[in-house]
Amino acid sequence: MIDCTRFAQTVDGKPVAVFGLGRSGMSTVKALCKAGVTVKAWDDNDAQCKEAEKHGAQCVKLDENELKDCACLVLAPGVPLHFPEPHPVVEAARAADVEIICDLEVLHRCGHGRKTIGITGTNGKSTTTALITHILQNAGRDVVMGGNIGEPALDMKLPKKKDGIIVLEISSYQMDLCPTFRPDIAVLLNITPDHLDRHGTFENYIESKTRIFENDGSEEGLAVIGTDDEPCQKIYERLIAFELGKRRTRPISSKSQTEDGIYIEESVLYDTRNGLHEERQSLKGLTALRGLHNHQNAAAAYAVCISKDIGLSVEEVFEGLNSYPGLPHRQKQIRVINGIPYIDDSKATNAEAASKAVSSYDRIYWIAGGRAKSDGLEGLQSLLPRIHHAYLIGEAMEEFAVWLDQYSTPYSLCGDMQKAVQEAHEDAQNERGQPGGGGVVLLSPACASWDQYESFEHRGRHFEELVMALDDGEKSEAGGKA
């Protein structure tokens, strides 16, 4: 747990309000109470309020009257800040002229003195965060990972040494609640339309992501930015013009050459920093980092770890890349049955994310569906020739069927995961000896999971259980990574 004593000193004895007592909210309550801060907390879940009280919080409904004497409101990132309309607790805090922050801002104000690496982007931030952490750990660095992945920020165990490193996955929701925190090394991978129900417009979403780079110019930091999409390219142009503050900038790309940065061409990583143009290593053998999207993630991790801010050698970086095992539910190979891989990509909760997995395989028996995002399957048209057959589930089943009909892509209306897995398995196994047979059974839903599951992790675990229970008919191989 983070020592919040220095943060406690900044509130001048005033209470701190905490709204939303999920994992990050509860960790905030525990850390602040331990530091001697008076905490006013609230959640609509009675059980969560009782748990907070056990740790020393006062649970009261946070209206304007209760908030007016508070130093700040620590808000759960999922609570609407602006759109579709501000949550009542947000309106109450604004009426009381109380600052609204999140746990990452609290961490920053604790004055921990460790270098921070922050990673954001519409897709790939979890993999890149875990990949950077793995490379640093493999090289013997004192490093912890948290934020929007793993442990909540205030539950982390601070690196013992002052030269230790904190690696944070940062969502747009969290960045909106960080008035002063900016990571020393800021990484933006990509921006495509997502979470527009929260941000209102695509422009607002872009601005939220851009905030990770802003500084007042008093301290130089490092900016690593993907340049493969138009919004990020425009942010890159602002960075090199120093419109966002003073940062050294390293562009990365998996599609084209970069100047003074890192790029991937035909699966080979090239380093063009400081006027050089050096071929480093092929990424073809990295099965846990398959596909152009993962090549971008690898380029970002390389750019961070090879920088003078971190100082790893090329050999140390590639040792970490080569040994990276991958993340659960991100193109994880669950099993191989008679030559057919079964891949869990449950983390793909929108079409853009699903496109990364679909573009990585041929002849796909594709399990898709759930609670659809606003754009449905738009953007996947060019990849449909890779889909041999689709198996549709969840609320989006009928909508996706209509969309696939436009492109004459064969599908089955399965409804639930069990039926989809069984039908995909039977088809893949029955067709593997025929011309063009083989292929891959891929769960990459392009949807949120909340219609049938508690989370994408729950959905992925169910897929894994079903796959492990399948009859192989012959001897099969288990485990491994895709």
b/e burial code for range 196-232 (CB count within 10 A of at least 16 → b) = eebbeeeebbbbbbbbbbebeeeeebbbbbbbbbebb
Alpha-carbon span 18 to 398, nearest angstrom: 41
The third-level CATH classification (topology) of the domain covering 112-323 is UDP-N-acetylmuramoyl-L-alanine:D-glutamate ligase (3.40.1190)
Cis (ω within 30 of 0) for the bond into 84? yes
What distance lies between CA 476 and its chain's CA centroid? 33
Q: Which of 303, 229, 318 is nearest to 263 (CA)?
A: 303
If DSSP codes are grouped into helix, strand and coil, which group holds residue 86?
A: coil
3-state secondary structure of 8: helix
Domain edges within the chain: 5-104, 112-323, 332-478
Task: Compute the distance between CA of residue 446 and CA of residue 368 in angstroms, rounded to an integer.
Answer: 6
Helix, strand, coil percentages, rounded to 5, for the chain: 35, 20, 40
DSSP symbol at 481? -
By the 8 A CB rule, do 345 and 449 touch?
no
In single-letter form, the type of residue at position 3 comes to D
> For the chain (length 482 residues), average pLDDT per consecutive 10?
92 94 93 95 92 94 94 91 87 95 94 93 90 96 90 90 91 90 94 68 86 79 93 93 89 92 93 89 83 89 95 94 88 91 93 90 95 91 96 97 97 98 96 79 96 94 97 55 39
Q: How many residues does the chain have?
A: 482
Q: How far is 471 from 363, CA to CA, in rounded Å?
A: 21
What's the CA gap between 432 and 407, in Å, rounded? 24
Q: Listing from the earlier edge strand, what are the strands of the sheet with 185-188? A: 143-147, 165-169, 115-120, 185-188, 221-226, 247-253, 262-265, 268-271, 278-282
SS3 state at 269: strand
What DSSP state is assigned to residue 18? E
Query: What whole-number distance in Å separates Cα of residue 85 and Cα of residue 235?
Result: 28
Superfamily (CATH) of domain 332-478: Mur ligase, C-terminal domain (3.90.190.20)
Query: What tokens does 301 get?
Result: 């991790």
Tell me how far CA of residue 296 lies from CA of 20, 116, 273, in angstroms: 34, 21, 16
- 438: tokens are 């083989």
CATH fold for domain 5-104: Rossmann fold (3.40.50)
Per the structure block, which two tokens stand in for 89? 């607790």
**Taking CA 312 as the corner, what is the angle to CA 150 and CA 254, rounded to the nearest 5 degrees?**
70
Token pair for 413: 């209306």
Residue 262, strand partner residues: 252, 271
